[in-house]
Structure formats: structure tokens, C-alpha cells
Amino acid sequence: MTDKRRLLITAALPYANGSIHLGHMLEYIQTDIWTRFQRARGHEVWFAWADDAHGTPIMLHAEKRGISPEALIEEMSAEHQRDFADFGLSQDNFSSTHTPTNQALVERIWQALDAAGAVTSRSIEQFHDPERNMFLPDRFIRGQCPKCGADDQYGDSCEACGATYDPTELVDPRSVLSGATPVLKQTEHFFVSLEQFRASLKTWVRSGALQDEVANKLNEWLDEPLRDWDVTRDAPYFGFPIPGQSDKYFYVWMDAPVGYLASFKEICEREGLDFDEWTRPDSGTEMHHFIGKDIVYFHCLFWPAMLEGAGMRRPTAVHAHGFLTVNGAKMSKSRGTFIKARTWLDHINADTLRYYFAAKLGPGLADIDLNLEDFRARVNADLVGKLVNIASRSAGFVHKFGGGRLAAELPEPELFQRFVDAHESIAAEFESRNFQMGIRRIMALADEANRYIDEHKPWVLAKEDGREAEVLAICTQGLNLFRTMMIWLQPVIPATAAEAAEFLGTPLNDFDSACQPLLDHPINKFKPLMKRIEAEQIERVLEASRESLAAAASEPAASAPEDEKEETDMIEFPDFAKVDLRVARIARAELVEGADKLLRLELDLGNETRQVFAGIRGHYDPAELEGRLTVMVANLAPRKMRFGVSEGMVLAASEGGGKPYLLSPDSGATPGMKVS
């Protein structure tokens, strides 16, 4: 056990303008697993976050519904918190950015920035909608990206190439509200000068606070002078007014991250904690943000600069993650291709999704696909078929032969010790957010536990006279292995773990208690902890979301006419840029029974493992491929095949239909490295 740490943990703020969907839940579940793990290790942990409640979209949505913005955000907060509770999120406080506490902190930071000479003002030209008679936020202007030429891009950033820019740089801009061509008008705005923080930001970026991919991207930005950050929005606007101004408001990204601290300040006032001590740079506390990779710019440039200007501690770490797809299709609120959290909860156990996400989450920025068939198969195999099965096969015999009391000794302590020996490795995987590897280690041990039960066959021995004590001992061993794994998995499947704790008659929320066996201890009657996921449940989720999923499903696949097959179909750079090529090590290669041309490859990407079926059988000896580096398409939608799910594609070259040659990178390449 390490020394006790003090941690403030946050998740990105959901916008108070719509329902929670599974894309949101990917992050919130990841955050909660890590939070619960840290608590289980005995650390002082506070999980604080809030609804992001400001901005023009909320103002317009409330106007459309004929209610006040305050009524809208109160309604959405209640809905969000119901979803969070039913998904087992364990936040200590969920607040709103529209609170007096947050306003006071925003003004405190603003005054500190002003006193440090980081605030300037000047007249700028900004797009104005002549029909709605209002200045347009960046996201209410769309046009052609000035960098790559992609159409229908937002006014502040391009989804195709990732470039950021000013809305005035868009080509052929239009107002999202009215469709009118916006006109440029003069307005006075306030700016935060980021350039004076550039040197200290470069030091922070190299401090280990960020993943390598994020740090490398930030270093590119920090190699150039930083532009001043426009933090003003003109009336009409729903937000905090800038002190001393009658018609100027803080941009939502000015007050949103402060909402982390405001929510925590409410905890401090409730629990008697010293907020200023926690937020001092030399406090010895930790602050961890979990965010999507699309908001790195705000959290890793603007936010640490604001904190430095205010004399407050910077984040210990910002943990960015990739996006979620469902059955290979991109989720998008604007296009409606999302499954709401409540839709899922109406039909399927929340812990099953928590487990599936954990089984796929690594510490990097790779996108994750919720393949619903793979989800069902994995949950049924791992949680029902392996984990819960151990308890269900053992509990009855403990009541029958031990009066509901476990034996006083383990018959095979060396098997229990093998589980104990894995404890710190599993803890290290959870600490580094490499949940998928932690899950893999646990499930490998679950296989061992099931083998033990299968080999000793207590159901057979129970029929023989005089074997009662032996059966009790075997089942005591099995239940101890089950208990150890449930302690490790408690951060992942908390509701199931709570039911298991009731069955075992002992808490399961102390991570290190996994190393001590439970002996001569009464247990309660076993109740089924988890049911198999049936195909009908998946179909009901899809049916309930059919309207939102229909758009993606109905898009025709692109193909060339038959008489043009020999011609090269030209694609634009934004299309090519979507292809994520990664170096992969072939960890395992094997023949696929029943397939003439396929090999099953297990590909190591550094922070995750993928299964890929490749049509190279007959050209390569599987044993010769193992350990070899190759290149794969990492963001290809998973494809269901008769033999399993293929999670990508390896690249090969051939001429005239001859032997395929797997592409390999130069020596020195490492798994997970991006090919560019």
C-alpha cells in the first residue's frame, strides 16, 4: 500500500442542453472506475463535477420551449443525475456552472488575470446574423474549412483535419440559425494573453501530466506564439456578465472549467475542508481531469494558464480518451446517431456496459467501438459464465455441508497465493488506467478458478458418503477465489459487487483485502448476481433508438460502376486523414478451423490487443509471423465473421493476384506508433 494521497477527480461537464448518451458514459464510467479504485486503495478522494449550463444554445432552446434558461438547466440536471445514479457513478458533488459559487470563483480568477497584466481589450470584427439581430457564436456558423477545404465545418474548428481558426477565416460562411450570410460588425471584446504563459506551459506539458500523444500535439502549438484568447460574448447571451460591463458576458469556456473547482468548493463548505489549501500550487494534493480528446486545447492550454494567473495549482494530470462508436458507426448528437443512457438502462444492466467499456479501455486516445454482438458474447462468457458461475456452483454446498459457514482452512493455499501474487500487477494496471489489461489478468485467473472447480467436481463428491468436509473445503476455496476477483472488480461492477458482498457477508470495497482469505465465516443464501444478455434485449435497445440510428444505417455504401473498376477513385485529403494506421506486433498467429484462406492474428498495439482475420493462410507459416511488426488500419469498423469479430485490417501488397506481402515498418518502430 502506498502513502495516502489526496485527490480531486473530475469528468468533463455534460452540456445542460440534452440527454446523456453512451458516448458520454464512456468517459464517466472510466472516471468512476478510477475514482472507486483510488477510494478502495484507502486514499482521500473527491469526485466533483457539474452541468455546463451557459451559452447561446441553452438560451435558444429555452426560448423555443417557452421557459427560462434556469428552468431548463434545472430540468436537465435532474435528468442527468438520475442517469448517473442508475449507472452507479459515485460523484461526491454534481453541481452547475450557473451558481453563485462558480460566479465568485470566475470573477476571482478574472481579477487575478487582470492584475497580472494578462487581460486586454480591443475592437474586433465578428459575424452578426442580420435576420436574428445577434452576434453568432462560433458553433452557429458553418462553412468551408480554410485549411483543408472540407465543407460544412464549424466556425472554430474542423472535424476533418483538426485545424482551429477564427470564424472570420471560414469560406462561404452561413448562419446556422437563419441560413443567412452573416455580416461582419465591430464589437469591443476582452482577451486573455496566453503568450506570457507559454514558457511555463511548455514546462508543464513535459512534466508527465499528459499522455505522450497529447504532449506532442501541444508542443507543436507551443513552438509558435500563442494567440490571445477571446473570452467575451455579446448580449443576448446566457452566462455571467463581465464585471463592470452591461452587455458583455464571459465565454462559456471561461467559466466551464472553473465549475470543477466551484463544485469542489461546495464539497469543502459541506465537509469542512480548506479549499485554498487544496488549490495552492504547493499543497501536495492532486487534481485529475478526465476528458475527451476533442477538448484538449481548452484543458491543456487555456485552463492551466488561467490557474497559473490565479496563483492556483495546475492539474496533476489530464487523462484524454477517444470517441465511442456503436457497431462501427460514429456517434453524433447533431446527426442523431446515439443511444441514450436511459434507453440502455431501460433494457440492460448498467454493470454490463461498465464491464465492457473497462475491458476495452486503455490509457491512450484510441477510439472504442461498442459492438453489440461482441458485448453480449463477452458479458455472457466473462461475467456470467466465468465469474458468477464460481459462486453459483459453490454456495449451495457450503450451506448443505457447512451450515452456511466456510471451512477454517483452504485446501490449496498455493492456488490462492497465485491470485495474491497478481494483486499488485492488477493494481498497477488500474492505476495507469489500463483497465483492459487488468480485466484480462482477472479473467485469466477466473479460468484457473473454474478449472479448479471442474477438476475437483464437488457435485460428484457430494454424492459419496464421508466426503462432506472435502466438498466444503473445495467450495470454500472456490468462493475465496471468487471473492478476491470481486474485490478487484468492485470499481468496475459496483452494483454486482454490492450484491456479492451481501451474499458473502463481508465488504468488498477494500482493494488490499483481496490478499487475505475469508475463512470460518458465515455466508448468506446465494441469489443470482447477473443474468445472461439475450439477443432480444439488444434488439429492444436498437428499436428504441431506431429513429436516431436510421440515418447512419440508411447511408449507401460508396462503390464505383462495374465498367470503372480499373480506374483509380480519387479521394480528398480529409477522407484519407480519417484512416488511422498503426504499428502492431503480431503477438499470436493461428490457423482458423474451417477457413481455407484465413489466419487469426492477435495484434499488440501497445495499450490494447486486437483480433484480426487476414486472408494470408498458405503464404505464411503462423509460427514465423509471431513477434513480427506490421501495419494495421486501427479505426476500421469491426466486422462480424463466421469465426468471430475482426477488429481491423493488416496491410499487404501484391501484384497480379500473387502472393500477398505483409507491410512492415523499419526497425525501431514500436507497437501503437502512428503511421503518417
- The span from the CA of 42 to the CA of 142, in Å, is 49
- The span from the CA of 652 to the CA of 664, in Å, is 9
Q: Print the SS3 string covering 202-258.
A: HHHHCCCCECHHHHHHHHHHHCCCCCCEECEEECCCCCCECCCCCCEEECHHHHCCH
- The span from the CA of 651 to the CA of 601, in Å, is 13
- The span from the CA of 54 to the CA of 633, in Å, is 39
Question: Any binding-site annotation on 515?
Answer: no
Identify the three-state secondary structure at position 436.
Answer: helix
Question: Any binding-site annotation on 268?
Answer: no
Helix, strand, coil share (%) of the chain residues, nearest 5: 45, 20, 35
Contact call for residues 422 and 445 (beta carbons, < 8 A): yes
**Rounded to a whole number, what is the distance in angstroms from the first to the last CA of the chain?**
42
List Cα–Cα distances, 410 to 469, 578, 653, in angstroms.
12, 55, 57
- Closest to 475 measured CA to CA, from 540, 408, 406: 406
- Closest to 95 measured CA to CA, from 228, 253, 267, 277: 267
318 alpha carbon, distance to own chain's centre: 13
Question: Any binding-site annotation on 148?
Answer: yes
In 362-450, DSSP assigns E strands to 368-370
Question: Any binding-site annotation on 161?
Answer: yes
Who's near 624: CB < 8 A, 6+ residues apart?
Answer: none
- The span from the CA of 384 to the CA of 459, in Å, is 19
- The span from the CA of 434 to the CA of 443, in Å, is 15
Adjacent-strand bridge partners of 631: 583
- The x, y and z cell numbers of residue 207, run together, are 512534466
Question: Any binding-site annotation on 333?
Answer: yes
Phi, psi of 405 (to 5 degrees): -120, 135
Residue type, position 284, single letter:
G
Q: Print the SS3 string covering 17-79.
A: CCCCEHHHHHHHHHHHHHHHHHHHCCCEEEEEEEEECCCHHHHHHHHHHCCCHHHHHHHHHHH
Phi, psi of 220 (to 5 degrees): -60, -45
- The x, y and z cell numbers of residue 168, run together, are 472570420
Adjacent-strand bridge partners of 614: 599
In 514-626, DSSP assigns E strands to 581-591, 599-604, 609-614
- The span from the CA of 92 to the CA of 90, in Å, is 6
Helix (H) or strand (E) holding 7: strand 6-11
Identify the three-state secondary structure at position 160.
Answer: coil
How buried is residue 553: exposed, middle or buried, by Cβ count under 10 Å (0-12/13-18/19+)? Answer: exposed
- The span from the CA of 250 to the CA of 645, in Å, is 48
> Hey, what long-range contacts does 199-202 have (CB within 8 A, 24 or more apart)?
200/308, 201/301, 201/304, 201/305
Identify the three-state secondary structure at position 269.
Answer: helix
Annotated binding site for ATP: 333
Annotated binding site for Zn(2+): 145, 148, 158, 161
Annotated binding site: 145, 148, 158, 161, 333
